[in-house]
């Protein structure tokens, strides 16, 4: 994994990689869905002709695959823009969709499978109606799922366009309203900026990083993995030239209640990708770490999942399970959690039979 991490933070070292180095790097990169991103990095640094042809081909295959999904996503955003154009509701694109539309970070190596939107809660039902009337429909959701999304989650059930099959997730917050973190989404919307030549908004620079961190570290089993961390790395590199980006990052996180995920993000960005984060920002953010034992355990689990060391066994099922439990613990109060898990167990057993 060290070799892949080194390549992600310093693409130039590609020229010194041996055959054995590449063999290992490719395996880790495929596992972490970063082959397409590596192609982009090599292209950006004009290194494509300096690496073995086989390596270039493997990366190219993945890059072509990712590009197809980006084209689909762009097309979906054109349709969404058309559909919402008359409504005047400000709609914020989140994550991959936002990076593509605003051409941020390493958007051109990235794959994305859905479009995430954020609107004010007061505009949620209107936006939903507008999308439903434009041919977007709910995927397979039963009554319980509807209740789960509507009452507990920060999004409506996934919407899928009947002919284009791309998933659109409509959010009114970036954390569930029932979770332990109480986040006032209007603070995010206030600062959102209109994207040039687009009807959509994007979160302000610091909030973009904070959202990515929250998404990664509060998600079940850290699903986005190293790829999300790479997103943050690229964003930070781009924003570090911005005035006040670093100095205001930790205060903004505390204001939103997202200081813990920011701490995990900055710690791992520095450790794994050697992101040039100012020392005082790191030490300020470190004040937000949990108690010694929790911190030790979390860092251990996180690294086991997003940066596995053994190429023969990149899975960490126990860490995955613990983090899964943790993510639910954060997201739901205990009685709700018991209710939810017991339903899921019954539902899964029934479907298994």
Of 5-13, 27-35, 112-120, 236-244, the segment contacting another protein by CB under 8 A is 27-35
Please tell me whether residue 20 binds another protein under the rule CB under 8 A.
yes
d(CA 312, CA 264): 27
Please tell me whether residue 60 binds another protein under the rule CB under 8 A.
yes
Query: Cβ 106 to another protein, closest distance in Å?
Result: 19
Judged by CB under 8 A, the residue of 2, 50, 82, 315 near another protein is 315
Please tell me whether residue 43 binds another protein under the rule CB under 8 A.
no
The residue assigned the tokens 């192609």 is 39
Of 50-58, 155-163, 203-211, 274-282, the segment contacting another protein by CB under 8 A is 50-58
Query: Cβ 39 to another protein, closest distance in Å?
Result: 10
Of 47-55, 247-255, 265-273, 278-286, the segment contacting another protein by CB under 8 A is 47-55
Q: 65 with 36: CB under 8 angstroms?
A: yes
Query: Cβ 25 to another protein, closest distance in Å?
Result: 9
Other Cβ atoms within 10 Å of 130 Cβ, number: 18
d(CA 133, CA 127): 10
Judged by CB under 8 A, the residue of 2, 13, 44, 71 near another protein is 71
- For the chain, what percentages of helix, strand and coil (3-state, to nearest 5) are there? 65, 5, 30
Query: Cβ 14 to another protein, closest distance in Å?
Result: 13
Please tell me whether residue 121 binds another protein under the rule CB under 8 A.
no
DSSP string, 48-67: GGGS-HHHHHHHHHHHHHHH
Of 5-13, 67-75, 167-175, 186-194, the segment contacting another protein by CB under 8 A is 67-75
| Burial of residue 214, with CB atoms counted within 10 A of its CB: 0-12 exposed, 13-18 middle, 19 or more buried | buried
Q: Are β-strands 136-138 and 114-118 bridged in parallel, bridged antiparallel, or unpaired?
A: unpaired
d(CA 103, CA 111): 14
First to last CA, the chain: 40
* 45-61 residues labelled b (16+ CB within 10 A) or e (exposed): eebbeebeeebbebbbe
Q: What tokens were used for 158? A: 């996934």
Binding to another protein (CB under 8 A) within 201-220 occurs at: none
Please tell me whether residue 57 binds another protein under the rule CB under 8 A.
yes
Please tell me whether residue 78 binds another protein under the rule CB under 8 A.
no
Judged by CB under 8 A, the residue of 8, 55, 229, 319 near another protein is 55
3-state SS assignment for residue 123 = helix
Q: What tokens were used for 154? A: 């920060």
Please tell me whether residue 19 binds another protein under the rule CB under 8 A.
yes
For residue 171, how far is the Cα from the chain centroid? Answer: 14
Total residues contacting another protein by CB under 8 A comes to 27
Query: Cβ 315 to another protein, closest distance in Å?
Result: 6
- Rounded to 5 degrees, φ, ψ at 136 are -80, 140
Looking at the Cβ atoms of 31 and 340, the one nearer to another protein is 31
- Rounded to 5 degrees, φ, ψ at 87 are -80, -25
Query: Cβ 211 to another protein, closest distance in Å?
Result: 28
Query: Cβ 34 to another protein, closest distance in Å?
Result: 13
Judged by CB under 8 A, the residue of 9, 27, 237, 271 near another protein is 27
Judged by CB under 8 A, the residue of 9, 33, 48, 67 near another protein is 67
Sheet bearing 136-138, strands edge to edge: 136-138, 159-161, 167-171, 114-118, 92-94, 201-202, 193-194
Looking at the Cβ atoms of 29 and 302, the one nearer to another protein is 29
Q: Which residues in this chain contact another protein in the complex, by CB under 8 A?
A: 18-20, 22-23, 26-27, 30-31, 52, 54-55, 57-58, 60-62, 64-65, 67-68, 71, 311-315
């Amino acid at each position: 994994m060290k070799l892949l991490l080194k390549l992600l933070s310093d693409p130039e070292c590609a020229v010194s990689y041996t055959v054995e180095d590449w063999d290992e790097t490719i395996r880790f990169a495929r596992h972490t869905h970063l082959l397409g991103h590596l192609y982009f990095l090599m292209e950006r640094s004009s290194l494509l002709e300096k690496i073995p042809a086989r390596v270039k081909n493997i990366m190219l295959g993945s890059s072509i695959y990712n590009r197809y999904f980006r084209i689909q996503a762009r097309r979906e955003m054109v349709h969404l823009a058309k559909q919402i154009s008359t409504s005047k509701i400000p709609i914020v694109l989140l994550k991959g969709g936002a990076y593509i539309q605003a051409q941020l970070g390493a958007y051109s190596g990235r794959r994305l499978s859905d479009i995430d939107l954020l609107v004010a809660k007061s505009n949620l039902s209107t936006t939903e109606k507008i999308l439903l009337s434009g041919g977007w429909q709910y995927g397979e959701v039963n009554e319980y799922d509807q209740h789960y999304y509507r009452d507990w989650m920060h999004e409506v059930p996934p919407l899928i366009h009947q002919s284009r099959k791309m998933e659109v997730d409509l959010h009114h917050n970036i954390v569930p309203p029932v979770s332990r973190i109480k986040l006032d989404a209007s603070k995010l919307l206030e600062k959102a900026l209109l994207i040039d030549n687009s009807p959509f908004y994007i979160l302000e620079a610091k909030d973009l990083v904070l959202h990515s961190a929250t998404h990664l570290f509060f998600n079940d089993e850290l699903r986005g993995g190293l790829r999300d961390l790479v997103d943050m790395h690229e964003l930070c590199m781009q924003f570090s030239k911005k005035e006040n980006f670093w100095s205001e990052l930790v205060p903004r996180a505390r204001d939103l209640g997202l200081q813990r995920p920011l701490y995990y993000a900055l710690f791992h960005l520095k450790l794994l990708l050697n992101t040039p984060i100012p020392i005082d920002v790191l030490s300020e953010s470190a004040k937000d770490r949990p108690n010694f034992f929790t911190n030790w355990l979390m860092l251990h689990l996180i690294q086991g999942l997003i940066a596995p060391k053994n190429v023969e066994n990149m899975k960490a099922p126990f860490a995955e399970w613990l983090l899964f439990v943790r993510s639910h613990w954060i997201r739901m109060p205990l009685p709700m959690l018991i209710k939810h898990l017991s339903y899921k167990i019954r539902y899964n057993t029934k479907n298994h039979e």
